[in-house]
């Protein structure tokens, strides 16, 4: 019996137009009424995710920053795994040398060095503010993650991910969309968040369903008793899933719930 559903947001329950489909809203409301816990697991900032949780009527902890931060509904930190400050400084240096746009997240606040079309693209629909400054002016500590962004060339982002994975094997580096390369600590993985909450609620693996759509959801899908890939998901993710559901625009989340929960 499924007692916990851990779901990615963008491309999984939320279409890329930023508007929830009514069937998904109704389904999540029904799950909550049935006592099935629904937890959001996302690469987003925590502050960007709380409005989503409120929209969905969820009061469970939120897994943000790819699993690097878990906070409860009252904002209490339950788990945190930040990026090493010396490595963060080295990645900043790499980004500057290679003309890479970098988002820096410190204490759940967003900083960029350039106010350009890339950051405007990034913040659309995300409920966040940002600060433009030279990163040298910041105290490089409590770094939730770094994000390398290119909005025109997905293959370049793939190349960055391969370069950085080789350069920093001690980190968790993965594409979370065609345009985003996530750079975080090894402990900042969605599966770590699931493991923490399973222990927190004393749940068995087979009582958990996980669902996502991108490569950064691979370890999420693998760690569930039932791992579901969206129909619009990446091929790498689909190869790891127990089940492939419909697309986000065809209520794939709802279809998976109907198959494995009801």
Q: Is the pLDDT of residue 46 over 90?
A: yes
Q: Chain centroid to CA 55: how far?
A: 18
Mean pLDDT of 52-66: 97
Contact 226, 209 (CB under 8 A): yes
Give the pLDDT confidence of 210-233 residue by residue, as tens digits. 999 999 999 999 999 999 999 999
Give the pLDDT confidence of 137-171 residue by residue, as tens digits. 999 999 999 999 999 999 999 999 999 999 999 99
pLDDT score for 125: 79
Give the pLDDT confidence of 114-145 residue by residue, as tens digits. 999 999 999 987 889 999 999 999 999 999 99
Find where tokens 């929830």 sit: 20
Beta bridge partners of 183: 146, 173
Domains parsed from the chain with CATH numbers? 4-80+188-260 (3.40.50.1000), 85-185 (3.30.1240.10)
Contact 10, 24 (CB under 8 A): no
Mean confidence (pLDDT) of the chain: 96
Query: What distance in Å separates the CA atoms of residue 126 and residue 108, rounded to the nearest whole number?
Result: 13
Contact 171, 87 (CB under 8 A): yes
pLDDT score for 124: 87
Contact 218, 234 (CB under 8 A): no
Query: What distance in Å separates the CA atoms of residue 169 and residue 162, rounded to the nearest whole number?
Result: 10
pLDDT score for 255: 98
- Phi then psi for 7, rounded to 5 degrees? -125, 140
User: In Å, what is the CA distance from 97 to each residue of 53, 92, 157?
Assistant: 38, 9, 16
Contact 20, 14 (CB under 8 A): yes
Find where tokens 């105290």 sit: 139
Rg value, the chain, Cα: 18
- Phi then psi for 15, rounded to 5 degrees? -60, 160
pLDDT score for 220: 97
pLDDT score for 227: 98
């Amino acid at each position: 019996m499924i007692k916990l559903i851990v779901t990615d947001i963008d491309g999984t329950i939320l279409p890329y137009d930023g508007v929830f489909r009514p069937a998904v809203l109704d389904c999540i409301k029904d799950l909550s009424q049935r006592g099935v816990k629904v937890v959001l697991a996302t690469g987003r900032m925590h502050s960007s995710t709380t409005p989503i949780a409120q929209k969905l009527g969820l009061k469970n902890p939120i897994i943000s920053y790819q699993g690097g931060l878990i906070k409860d509904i009252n904002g209490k930190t339950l788990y945190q795994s930040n990026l090493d400050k010396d490595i963060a400084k080295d990645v900043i240096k790499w980004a500057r040398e290679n003309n890479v746009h970098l988002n820096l997240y410190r204490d759940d606040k967003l900083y960029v060095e350039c106010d350009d079309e890339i950051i405007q693209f990034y913040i659309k629909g995300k409920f966040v503010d940002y600060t433009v400054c030279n990163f040298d002016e910041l105290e490089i500590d409590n770094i939730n993650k770094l994000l390398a962004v290119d909005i025109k060339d997905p293959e370049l982002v793939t190349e960055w991910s391969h370069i950085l994975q080789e350069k920093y094997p001690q980190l968790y580096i993965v594409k979370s969309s065609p345009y985003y390369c996530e750079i975080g600590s090894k402990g900042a993985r969605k599966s770590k968040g699931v493991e923490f909450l399973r222990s927190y609620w004393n749940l068995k693996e087979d009582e958990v369903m996980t669902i996502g759509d991108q490569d950064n959801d691979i370890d999420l899908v693998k760690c569930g008793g039932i791992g579901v890939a969206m129909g619009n998901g990446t091929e790498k993710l689909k190869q790891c899933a127990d089940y492939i559901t419909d697309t986000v625009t065809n209520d794939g989340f709802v279809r998976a719930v109907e198959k494995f929960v009801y």
